[in-house]
Amino acid sequence: MKDEYIDFCNLVRDMPVFSMPWWLDAVCGEQGWNVILLKRNNEIVASFPYYIRKKIGMRFLAMPLFTQKL
């Protein structure tokens, strides 16, 4: 899904910087984030990038460092 998201971000002109794949790679690491895509008629209509944080043996969704909003 990340490849589709990268292509989607390249097409959307007003994508927030905090949702850009290069930003997420920098603050989360390449394997530390993922994305959920909502499609209608095989076209992306919404995206939800998220950061998976591991702490004390548990995994949970969190806001990446230096990221104002996701």
- Residue 55 in domain: yes
Q: Rounded to the nearest 5°, which phi and psi values hold at 22? A: -65, -35
- Residue 69 in domain: no
Q: Rounded to the nearest 5°, which phi and psi values hold at 8? A: -60, -45
- Residue 70 in domain: no
Q: DSSP state, 16?
A: -
Structural domain span for residue 12: 2-62
User: Hey, CA dihedral for 18, 69, 56, 52, is it positive or negative?
Assistant: negative
Spans of the chain, pLDDT less than 70: none
Q: Rounded to the nearest 5°, which phi and psi values hold at 43? A: -120, 135
Quote the pLDDT of residue 26: 96
Could you tell me whether strands 43-55 and 58-62 are parallel, antiparallel, or unpaired per DSSP bridges?
antiparallel
Q: What's the structural domain count of the chain?
A: 1
- Residue 35 in domain: yes
